[in-house]
Amino acid sequence: MANIYNKKRLTPAEKADKEIIDLALKRYQECDPICQEIYRKAVEDIKFSIGEQWDEQAKRGRQDRPCLVENRILNTIHQVCNNQRQNRPMIKVSPKRDTDETTAEVYNGLLRHIQSESDAESAFDTAFEDAVRGSVGGFRIITEYETDDSFNQEIRIKRIADFQSMKIPYHLCVESDFRDMPYAFVETTYQKDDFEKKWPDIDIDSWPSTARLEGWQNEETIRVAEYYTIDETYHNLYLHEDGSITEEKHVDEDTEEWGEVATEDGSNKSPIVQTRKACDRVIKWYKITAGEILDRAIIPGMWIPVVIVAGEDITISGKRELLSLTRNAKDPQRMLNYWRSSEAERIALAPKAPWVAVEGQLEGREQLWADSNRSNIPVLTYKTVIEGGVMAPAPARAQPAQMDTAIVNAAREAIDSIKACTGIFDASLGATSNEKSGVAIRARQAQGDSSNYHFFDNFARALRHACRIIIDMIPAVYDTERKIKILGEDMKEKIITVNGQSEDGEEQYNLTVGKYDVQVETGPSFMSRRQETANNLQQLAQSDPVIIQCARDLVLKYLDLPTEVVERAQKTIDPKFLDSGKPGDPKVIQGQLAQATQQVQQLDQVIQQMSAENDDMKQQLNVKSEDNKTRLAIAGLQAQVNLLLGQMKSGQVDKQLLHEAALESMRYGNSLEQGEIEAQRQAQLKSQQPPQPGAQPEME
């Protein structure tokens, strides 16, 4: 392949390529020193966090003295990073314009599918951990073919393992999420042999001489960079009196009046009331070396698909500074290492205290006594020396130096300084501290979370921008009728058809239209929230049994039991608690019919019971009516007898008539007595019968 730098005359296309490469190399050289300064500090922080905490000059100065590392920062970093993993931010969209809730849910399901297929959690975790450890991390968003034999593309989120491969114009970015970056590079270093195998037609020797000076190639490696740039063009945007908007102004040649715009069919639209300039952004991607464009493409959307995750982001005198959790804790950690090394040194030197002996006692045995500090010698002999008529005592070690309490106290102060610099105290690390109550412990843990919340907030901003990029890409990538896979909140898969026509001709799930708002929710994952809901429902069921009666299917559902168990439990619930189903739902109708049937059966039982009670009351009323008639007849006969007795005394009555009246009164009396006996017998029989279910007590 002929190189454009090795030709005297260039075609217009080759000339355009040369201009692209020259501009890219110029931009690279412009932002590289700024990136190197930020990345140098970040690399130092990361190396320090993993235990490289003694610089070479300090080690050389200590020579053979101990250089211990008690890494207290690493556990603090793990605490912050694992907190993010347990409470992963979730990106989602809501309908904004020209769309509905259903299509928004499809977008959310597609976002979850993209993250799942991309292993996005790995990309997010790497970027966040790089930001916490070293102050900056990142990931990017690309498109790739669905399968090897398909032309359908899908969106993927890719991990950037080495943040130093990103060359970003930090000095040109103002927004906190870096969405206003005008260009970006993501570089890869190839071994020279691998590069020649991958691109055998490239003439490396014909590249400009500056390629070696600027680090694009050397004897062993070649740099290949993915170069993103934005081309901006402007056009007029017009607002008409009827509220319509057009992008190009066409003056009516007949009227030649301002505000008259001709349409394709020759009719005039409403007058123009306002105009402004609108910007068209085109994202272009090139894979370049110092002398060749290896590949190129147009990236859908209006944002460069490289997402930066910053640690603590501050600007000082116009210069952007990115800080990590490690940065401010380095000096206290160095102090702790020094004091721990001093402690170890003092303790190690204690058994090596020198021997104190009288001159002549070690004569001929000097090497043996000298080796006693390095070797375990069972017997040490010495010569007896008499001075002034008194035998000198045996050789003995000098008193070893005692541990200085100042060193111990200084080490403790250094540990407290690390906690203060990182904002992570004992309660956040799970250690026992002065806090005794649960409220106090949670308050101290919340204090640790609040002191490092800016890391989580900056990460959420990066995710919001990533979601904005994906939403901007979807209409261009998923622009034809096709089947796609989406995931629900419970991560269950569903395959749907998008951008197609239903049987009745109505368009459904059109991903090419509509505007959406981007949201980021921070909190426990769906599974964590599901487990928490299950625990809460179980506790409610224990305290209030009514929950089991009206929602036992939900309790079982959140316990992740088989669907068959949940469905069977749902059949035992009173249908009135299941009215939340859609109108015409067979399950709801079936439940309503079962409820109506049960109510009819209960009414039949009540009617039968009331009918039986009514018959008893009629019988009792008949008996009482006969009794009343009999009593009235007896009373009449008794009056008649009394009248006849009075007449008999006066001699005015026939004795035969008086006898007949007395007999009639006795007959009615016997009949009344028999009726009362029969009523008592019926009442006794009824009291001996068992009560009917649901029967009400008889009112007197």
Question: Does residue 247 register a pLDDT over 70?
Answer: yes
Residue 33 and residue 167: Cα distance in Å, rounded?
A: 10
What is the band of 259 on the pLDDT scale with cuts at 50, 70, 90?
very low
- Enter the tokens of residue 267: 């009719």
Residue 274 phi, psi dihedral angles, 5° rounding: -155, 150
| Burial grade of 648 (CB within 10 A; 0-12, 13-18, 19 or more) | middle
Residue 125 and residue 137: Cα distance in Å, rounded?
A: 10
Residue 205 and residue 222: Cα distance in Å, rounded?
A: 12
Return the closest-CA partner of residue 511 out of 473, 557, 550, 566.
473
What is the band of 240 on the pLDDT scale with cuts at 50, 70, 90?
confident
Question: Does residue 121 register a pLDDT over 80?
Answer: yes
200, 325 in Cβ contact below 8 A?
no
Q: Which of 102-106, 182-186, 383-387, 442-446 has the lowest mean pLDDT?
A: 442-446
Q: Which of 241-245, 262-266, 679-683 has the lowest mean pLDDT?
A: 262-266
User: What is the chain's Cα-based Rg?
Assistant: 49
What pLDDT shows up at residue 675? 58
Per-residue pLDDT reduced to its tens digit, 410-429: 999 999 999 888 888 776 66
Residue 523 and residue 489: Cα distance in Å, rounded?
A: 14
Per-residue pLDDT reduced to its tens digit, 41-91: 999 999 999 999 998 888 888 888 889 999 999 999 999 999 899 888 888
What pLDDT shows up at residue 329? 94
The average pLDDT across 429-438 equals: 63
What pLDDT shows up at residue 697? 45
556, 566 in Cβ contact below 8 A?
yes
- Label the pairing between strands 221-240 and 245-246: antiparallel
Residue whose tokens read 């209006």: 302
Residue 297 and residue 287: Cα distance in Å, rounded?
A: 9
Q: Which has more pLDDT, 205 or 333?
A: 333
Return the closest-CA partner of residue 590 out of 565, 571, 577, 567.
571
Q: Which has more pLDDT, 86 or 614?
A: 86
Q: Which of 213-217, 372-376, 599-603 has the lowest mean pLDDT?
A: 599-603
Question: Does residue 250 register a pLDDT over 50?
Answer: no
What pLDDT shows up at residue 256? 43
What pLDDT shows up at residue 331? 94
The average pLDDT across 149-178 equals: 94
Secondary structure (H, E, C), 445-495: HHHHHHHCHHHHHHHHHHHHHHHHHHHHHHHHHCCCCEEEEEECCCCCEEE
Measure the CA angle with vertex 647, ends 641 and 648; round to 5°: 85
What pLDDT shows up at residue 345? 84
What pLDDT shows up at residue 695? 47
**Reported pTM:** 0.70
Hey, is 197 helix, strand or coil?
Answer: helix
71, 51 in Cβ contact below 8 A?
yes
The average pLDDT across 671-687 equals: 59
What is the band of 131 on the pLDDT scale with cuts at 50, 70, 90?
very high
pLDDT, the chain, mean: 80
Q: Which of 132-146, 177-191, 197-211, 539-553 has the lowest mean pLDDT?
A: 539-553
Sequence-ordered alpha helix ranges (H) in 574-691: 586-649, 655-688
What contacts 444, CB < 8 A, 6 or more positions away?
Answer: 425, 426, 427, 428, 433, 435
Q: How far is CA 270 from CA 36, 131, 251, 443, in A?
A: 57, 54, 12, 64
What pLDDT shows up at residue 369? 84
Per-residue pLDDT reduced to its tens digit, 341-378: 988 888 776 666 778 888 888 888 888 888 887 778 88
What pLDDT shows up at residue 190? 95
Residue 219 and residue 76: Cα distance in Å, rounded?
A: 43
Q: Which has more pLDDT, 122 or 205?
A: 122
How many residues are present in the chain? Answer: 700
DSSP state letter for 326:
T
**Percent of the chain having pLDDT more than 70?**
69
The average pLDDT across 287-293 equals: 92
**Percent of the chain having pLDDT more than 90?**
35
Q: Which has more pLDDT, 698 or 193?
A: 193
